[in-house]
Structure 1
Amino acid sequence: MPLFAYKGRDNQGALVQGTLESTDSSNVASQLSSLNITPIEIKPQTAKTMTKEVSLDFFEEKISTLDVMLFSRQMYTLLKAGIPIMNALNGLQASTQNKTFGLVIGNIRESLAGGRELSVALAQHPKVFSSFYISMVRVGESTGLLDSVFLRLFEHLEFERFMRDQIKAALRYPTFVVIAMAIAIVVVNLFVIPAFAKVFESFGAELPLMTRVLLGFSGFMQASWPYLLVAGIGAILMFRSYVATSIGKYNWDSFKLKTPIAGKIIHKATMARFARSFALASKSGVPITNGLKLVAQTADNDYVGSRIDQMREGVERGESILRTATNSGVFNPIVLQMIAVGEESGSLDDLMEEVADMYQRDVEYEIKTLGAQIEPILIVFLGVMVLILALGIFLPIWDLGSIALNKG
């Protein structure tokens, strides 16, 4: 996505500037509004500026989710102990192992020393702190529960990291198997079958249909492999370019949810992330509509995020959460029942945490049984490959051997 440089004013009238990654300037304006920042200027970053940032980022140490997690946990501990926030940030800056993150903390300290609020200081680093994170900190500042908010953010980031790792683990095995099979097919067609082709030519007899098909396909790959390689690389680049667009990302995220086996794991993980984020926002005192807007940005799936946005629009029209959740089409009946109970009893945040726990357990179970689910498919696929090779390569050898024996 393109980067946009922005300037704006916060609630106190202080100037705020930074960069945000978004599809267009209108989305940037919406994100700034959710952070209570009135945009003054929004413009795409020039190629010169972007090149400069890329060259700097190449040599700088990257800031990971783990760094932000540790920062949140340490801030909770220090603030809980009654240490002033400036002293806490000073200690964290001196003790952090990530030098780049240390510079970010130093910049936050300078902003606080200049009279800005912590949430505004964090908003100057959108690549490090998400809009959801900043909004939670703003809620903590307004309610006087900043230490508790940092603890919840730590737990939230830990959960997010866990779910991402689970999804990667779920996709790693089938991806590896598909790549291994593709390599095997290429090796067989480029090296194995051509060796048998020379033997078949010496026979001078008519070959079975399956053998002729294998030899023809192998010959095609031998003659066209440079073009096939270029076409494959071009297809990958075109796919990445398409997915980088908003509509491409939406369609790809929708397709991932419909893929066999892995799709249901991704769906459950996304639902767990939504439920946990919504529970955190609700417990922190964020209004439902604002909470849904923030959660849609953290869904990590544009298709599900659009459905959450539809829920927010329905709530703004006066519809119940249950009705909007039902119309979204992404929740199963059990979750809808829990939402209904939570809405009636006023304990929606607690029940959403239970929903997140339920989905998390389901994801863990699905990943543990992933091998057992994929093995039958792989066995069938390998069986078909072996059958084709046996019929195409060994059948003519067997036939010619039988003829030779009969003649003898």
Structure 2
Amino acid sequence: MPMFRYKSRDHQGKLVEGKMEGNQPNHVADILMSRGLIPVDISEVKDTGDGFTFAQLFEKPVTLDELVIFSRQMFSLMQAGIPVMRAMAGLRDSANNPVMKKALAKVLSDLESGRTLSTSLAKQPRVFSQIVISLVHVGENTGQLDEAFLQLATYLEREQETRKQIKAAMRYPMFVIMALIGAMVILNIWVIPVFADMFTKFGVELPWTTKTLLATSSFFVNYWPIMLVVSIGLVFWVKHWMASESGRLIWDKKKLGMPVVGSVIERALLARFGRSFSMMIAAGVPLLQGLKLVADAVDNAYMGSKVITMSVGIRSGESLLRVSTNSGLFNPLVLQMIAVGEETGRLEQLLTSMAEYYEREVDFDLKSLTAKIEPILISIVAGMVLILALGIFTPMWDMMSAMKK
């Protein structure tokens, strides 16, 4: 169970503070009132595990593949009637990743101390996400822990497939961009200086393109240590900025507006929203709690804030269709699916259809992504070749003409 920090007052008005485990804030409030305390403030305590250590920088993180295997193994073991503690001990012994082995050992220790599986998993946030913990918690309460792990494995496998498709589509453009950067460095540091010495000896009048190339090359040659330090510092600053709440929100919003790839990212996130929300409803998670979990599952701060806004609207009495329309996230076809699902009570199936719709769109976009990016890359390469040709060969033609005269 999650841990909550509470502030309350007794019958004499004295402030009483403390911590308490509970399913949700209302549950904690009921316990406090049964003790004669009036709740003033109840907030969830985010468990950060054992904290960050320097050694964690060199540890291999738990991959999505390993989480899929873990979920599949737990499903098989639960379905076979193996006790949870025995299953966890077996998976701990067979784990290859030291981080996973350490996490499962701590989970097993918590289970032996009498904690529930969901509470034990929640204490390992570096390995198990909030959506994993929530599904396991629902499975424990409904007596269908095996089905919870099956749903989780299916969800993670689809997520894994989407990530592989995105990586495959971006492999060629990234290779070309890295090759361009490498070529630019080599030209500026080793090639252009040779031509610069030759032009200086002949004393010819240089066009502006050549002067620009020579100035750029001189800057690279003379200030490359400063450029290297600044580049490394910039990388660390960007990572720190993106790790902050405001920085992540801005960057996640900018990603959705990027040319060519922005629409692909947005549709992939909406597919994840539909799939995870459908799974939450199928598992019996309340609508408000489900939206909160989905906001974490989409893994995009900007879209997550939109989903949280939707949950606020539902809490105030608005329908899911209305808050979905106001969010501006969905097109009319998807809104129609949500309307039908809400009216017929088949929201789970309609959300699954919505996820499949966006997944088909993402598949099509990813297949054509390389074809869309290729003209842009070709234009960049052509521009670089043109500038290089004008900057290098124009003075050489002038020198040959002067020598003939």
Which category describes the TM-score, using the shorter chain as reference length?
A: 0.7 to 0.9
CA contact (8 A) 1:170 1:262 kept: no
Partner residue in 1 for 2:300: 301
1:356, 1:64 → 2: CA distance? 23
Partner residue in 2 for 1:353: 352
Alpha-carbon offset, residue 300 of structure 1? 1.1
1:262, 1:104 → 2: CA distance? 36
Partner residue in 2 for 1:400: 399
| Residues 124-169 of structure 1 deviation map (CA, whole Å, 9 limit, x = unaligned) | 3222222221111121122222221110011112122223333333
Unaligned runs of 5+ in 1: 1-5, 11-28
> Counterpart of 1:319 in 2: which secondary structure?
coil
Alpha-carbon offset, residue 90 of structure 1? 4.1
Matched residue count = 379
Partner residue in 2 for 1:233: 232
Superposition pairs of residues 142-157 of structure 1, within 5 angstroms? 142-157=141-156
Superposition pairs of residues 19-30 of structure 1, within 5 angstroms? none
TM-score, normalising length: structure 1: 0.82
1:99, 1:389 → 2: CA distance? 51
Partner residue in 2 for 1:205: 204
Partner residue in 1 for 2:179: 180
TM-score, normalising length: structure 2: 0.83
2:253, 2:43 → 1: CA distance? 35
CA gap of 1:59–1:309, structure 2 versus 1, over 3 A, is closer
> Counterpart of 1:292 in 2: which secondary structure?
helix
1:33, 1:363 → 2: CA distance? 36
Alpha-carbon offset, residue 61 of structure 1? 6.3
State yes or no: 1:116 paired with 2:118: no
The CA RMSD measured in Å over matched residues stands at 3.2
Partner residue in 1 for 2:373: 374
CA gap of 1:154–1:42, structure 2 versus 1, over 3 A, is closer
Partner residue in 1 for 2:87: 88
Partner residue in 1 for 2:325: 326
Partner residue in 2 for 1:290: 289
State yes or no: 1:215 paired with 2:214: yes
Unaligned runs of 5+ in 2: 6-19, 30-41
Calculate percent identity across the aligned residue pairs. Answer: 45
Partner residue in 2 for 1:335: 334
CA gap of 1:84–1:30, structure 2 versus 1, over 3 A, is closer
Task: Judge which range, 116-125 or 337-346, deviates more.
Answer: 116-125
1:359 maps to amino acid: Y
Partner residue in 2 for 1:388: 387
CA contact (8 A) 2:169 2:370 kept: no
Partner residue in 1 for 2:33: none
2:369, 2:22 → 1: CA distance? 38
Task: Judge which range, 67-76 or 291-300, deviates more.
Answer: 67-76
2:106, 2:304 → 1: CA distance? 32
> Counterpart of 1:308 in 2: which secondary structure?
helix
Alpha-carbon offset, residue 107 of structure 1? 4.1
1:322, 1:267 → 2: CA distance? 20
Task: Judge which range, 219-228 or 303-312, deviates more.
Answer: 219-228
1:82 maps to amino acid: G
Partner residue in 1 for 2:11: none
1:227, 1:183 → 2: CA distance? 18
> Counterpart of 2:204 in 1: which secondary structure?
coil
Superposition pairs of residues 4-23 of structure 1, within 5 angstroms? 8=3
Alpha-carbon offset, residue 305 of structure 1? 0.7
> Counterpart of 1:196 in 2: which secondary structure?
helix
